Amino acid sequence: MPVQAHAEEFRSPGTGENAAVGVLLSHGFTGSPISMRPFGEHLAAQGYGVAIPRLPGHGTSWQEMNTTGWPDWYAVLDNELARLRKEHDQVFLVGLSMGGCLVLRLAEQHGADISGLVLINPSVRTDDKRLVLLPVLARLLPSFPGISNDIKKPGANEYAYDRMPLRALHSLSQLWKVTREDLAKVTQPVLLFRSTVDHVVEPSSGRTVLSSISSRDVTETLLEDSYHVATLDNDAPRIFADSAAFIERLSGSVSGSDDA
């Protein structure tokens, strides 16, 4: 199935002194690399190696997404991580929403291979009691109306699906469960951004992450001027700058771009 133009992957090999550091960024459920592209471009401009892959079933159609599940999405990131580990001395992970859950799972599985995590409104659970029926609904109905483009900034667009593929959503709920069970295995430094108004992911997700991980170097930053897709919202410059400073501090890299 053709990939939509906005869903193109983004990669940069890195330049200068910061090329020793690679950053893997993951978009969220029903989204595509466009939600992370400005973030990735900001890091690439500073010389870091960057990869923003497109997860299977995303950026095409919700019907195709219903044929995929969390092991497919995870496998793409796992393979990308292996490549970055070969090409860079250190690798950091960045995830938005479901992407946050996926990179937490990578951190649980790969330990010291990962130098730090940046999480933006990560989803690891839901308080929506209706989803108790999801295993049944997923067999009866292909989709529900979607929740997308939760962005406060006028004119911004993440181009997510307008339908919620239920079989894929059921698989996401299974990812939440396995990830929550192993959160104590996360020991890497964590920088977590949480929007104070988020119409997609409840605050309980962020609280669950922070109360369950074993990391000692943990920072939570509240975003007062953004909704769920904060990487495309009013607080994006702060997210980019703080994340770059986080990576610089932990990796010993240099600030600014090669052109600075």
Active site residue 78: no
| Residue 246 CA, distance from chain mean position | 16
Spell 143-182 as b/e; 16+ CB within 10 A means b. beeeebbbbbbeebebbbbebbbbbbbbbbbebbeebbee
Active site residue 228: yes
Catalytic residue from among 12, 26, 97, 143: 97
| Residue 234 CA, distance from chain mean position | 18
Give the residue among 42, 17, 37, 19 at the shortest CA–CA distance from 27.
37
Q: Which helix (H) or strand (E) holds 24?
A: strand 21-26
Catalytic residue from among 42, 88, 170, 198: 198
240 assigned binding-site residue: no
Pair 209, 122: CB distance under 8 Å: yes
92 assigned binding-site residue: no
User: What CA–CA distances, in Å, run from 137 to 70, 88, 125, 131, 211?
Assistant: 18, 44, 18, 9, 31
Q: Which helix (H) or strand (E) holds 116?
A: strand 116-120
Q: How far apart are CA 77 and CA 26, in angstroms?
A: 8
Give the residue among 57, 148, 53 at the shortest CA–CA distance from 93.
53
Q: How far apart are CA 93 and CA 104, in angstroms?
A: 9
Catalytic residue from among 26, 32, 228, 235: 228
Residues flagged as binding site? 29, 98
Residues flagged as binding site for substrate? 29, 98
* Catalytic residue ranges: 97, 198, 228
